[in-house]
């Protein structure tokens, strides 16, 4: 392993340490175990979150079977700046946040066998909103705050069974913490009452993948992919406290009294959160080093989700799905006269039914994305672009979000574990 390889690993672990700084700002992260994050890289996100394409120098984190094509070591990391406009019947609020989206490292072990490992956020909790109940007497003011999330550490392996067909598996470890607090202040009462729930989450899952590619005409190739993740459970160790206090003039919270609730007596000290199964099917067509277009459908059995600690009569869960359509275009990958002809231009669109059902209204997400992968030394590249879209609705007194996310990703390629002729 050379000096550059060591530096790459050092960057990886420094990046891992920064995951605690990630944030989100979405009222919909109140539900489930937070806002579920896209489990792919920047190149895939800018193709509408399409994960059906694989090649020899890029790391595909969505399908472990694609690792069989990897011929170069690939270190990849992604970062984002998020802007969110949240609209409700009471007005509009703008929020901003930043996040580390993923860090991963993959490399070929032998011919037709590839390995990768990395870290990315599985879900993020980040919200702060309030409501005022005026229909009953006395009036009630409620405030809701939440933070935290679940990270996903993975190791994946892909192997080519025979020409064109690869299989793969990805072992995932989940870990994280969430904190959710609800405040209630009644009219003509000096002190509020609050309930604080904190959970430490641990668990594991296994994903299985298939990847197939076949030439169908001169310069044309068809790609197909399948990824299945069975239903799994997270272990949740929980605490709950009830407090009284007041809001300071600047909006901060001043706690007067605090009581810890015995959750053992309620059988809620240790619970299990059910994560639904997921099936991804993708199909694409393209010309190597020139263009690619594909479509992917993902089914999520969201109705199986359950969290005994946090329940609400306003929310139920239904099966969800996502449709992704996208692709890329390279004007001339080996051009010496024009740098911009070697750039990979990407675009895509996605539509998602999240599985959250509020007041009998399905929460959906629609977005479009554009990006460009800029070649640097060797096969390495920097990918930059944006994603914009809408989540939620104003119907049934709900919340609509308009988001604009600027994202950047890096892929550094190198040859590892190769013998040199001269020392």
> What mean pLDDT comes out for the span 348-366?
96
Write the pLDDT tens digit of every residue in 1-13: 455 554 555 555 5
pLDDT of the residue at 189: 87
Least confident among 12-21, 153-162, 189-198: 12-21
Domain assignment of residue 422, yes or no: no
d(CA 219, CA 201): 49
How confident is the model at residue 156, as a pLDDT?
98
User: How far, in Å, CA of 46 to CA of 326, rounded?
Assistant: 8
With a cut of 60, say whether residue 256 has pLDDT above it: yes
**pLDDT digit string (tens) for 322-337?**
999 999 999 999 999 9
- pLDDT (0 to 100) of residue 250: 82
User: What would the pLDDT profile of 90-137 be if each residue is shown by its tens digit?
Assistant: 889 999 988 899 999 999 998 899 999 999 999 999 998 888 876 667
CATH number of the domain where residue 165 is located: 2.40.160.60
Residue 78 has pLDDT above 90, yes or no: yes
Contact 392, 28 (CB under 8 A): yes
pTM, to two decimals: 0.91
Residue range(s) defining the domain that contains residue 90: 3-414
Q: From residue 215, how far is each of 52, 66, 137 by CA, in Å?
A: 16, 17, 71
Asked, for residue 331, whether it belongs to a domain, the answer is: yes
d(CA 103, CA 118): 6
pLDDT above 70 as % of the chain: 92
421 assigned to some structural domain = no
The total of structural domains in the chain comes to: 1
What is the overall mean pLDDT for the chain? Answer: 90
Asked whether residue 419 is assigned to any structural domain, the reply reads no
Q: What's the rounded mean pLDDT across residues 218-224?
A: 94
């Amino acid at each position: 392993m050379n000096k550059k390889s060591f530096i790459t690993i050092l960057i990886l672990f420094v990046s891992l340490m920064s995951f605690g700084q990630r944030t989100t700002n979405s009222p919909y992260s109140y539900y489930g175990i937070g806002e579920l994050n896209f489990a792919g890289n920047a190149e895939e996100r800018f193709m509408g979150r399409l994960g059906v394409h694989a090649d020899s120098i890029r790391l595909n984190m969505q399908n472990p079977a694609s690792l069989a094509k990897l011929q170069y070591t690939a270190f990849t990391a992604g970062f984002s700046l998020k802007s969110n406009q949240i609209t409700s019947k009471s007005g509009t609020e703008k929020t901003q946040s930043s996040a580390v989206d993923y860090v991963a490292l993959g490399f070929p072990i032998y011919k037709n066998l590839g390995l990768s490992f990395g870290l990315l956020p599985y879900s993020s909790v980040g919200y702060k909103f309030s409501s005022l109940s005026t229909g009953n007497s006395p009036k009630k003011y409620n405030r809701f705050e939440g933070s935290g999330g679940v990270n996903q550490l993975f190791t994946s392996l892909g192997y080519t069974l025979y020409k064109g067909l690869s299989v793969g598996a990805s072992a995932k470890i989940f870990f994280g913490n969430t904190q959710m607090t609800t405040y209630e202040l009644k009219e003509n009462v000096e002190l509020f009452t609050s309930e604080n729930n904190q959970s430490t989450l641990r668990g594991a899952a296994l994903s299985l993948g298939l990847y197939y590619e076949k030439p169908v005409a001169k310069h044309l190739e068809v790609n197909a992919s399948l990824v299945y993740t069975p239903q799994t459970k997270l272990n949740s160790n929980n605490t709950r406290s009830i407090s009284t206090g007041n809001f300071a003039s600047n909006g901060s919270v001043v706690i007067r009294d605090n009581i810890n609730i015995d959750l053992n007596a309620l059988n809620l000290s240790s619970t299990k959160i059910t994560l639904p199964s997921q099936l991804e099917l993708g199909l694409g067509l393209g010309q190597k080093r020139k263009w690619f277009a594909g479509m992917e459908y993902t089914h999520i059995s969201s109705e199986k989700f359950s969290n005994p600690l946090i329940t609400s009569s306003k929310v139920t869960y239904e099966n969800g799905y996502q449709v992704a359509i996208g692709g890329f275009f390279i004007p001339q990958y080996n051009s010496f006269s024009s740098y911009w002809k070697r750039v990979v231009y990407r675009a895509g669109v996605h539509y998602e039914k999240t599985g959250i059902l509020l007041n009998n209204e399905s929460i959906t997400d629609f977005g479009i994305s554009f990006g460009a992968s800029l070649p640097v030394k060797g096969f390495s590249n920097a990918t930059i672009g944006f994603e914009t879209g809408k989540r939620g609705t104003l119907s049934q007194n709900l919340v609509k979000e308009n988001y604009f996310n600027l994202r950047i990703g890096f892929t550094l390629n190198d040859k590892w574990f190769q013998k040199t002729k001269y020392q």
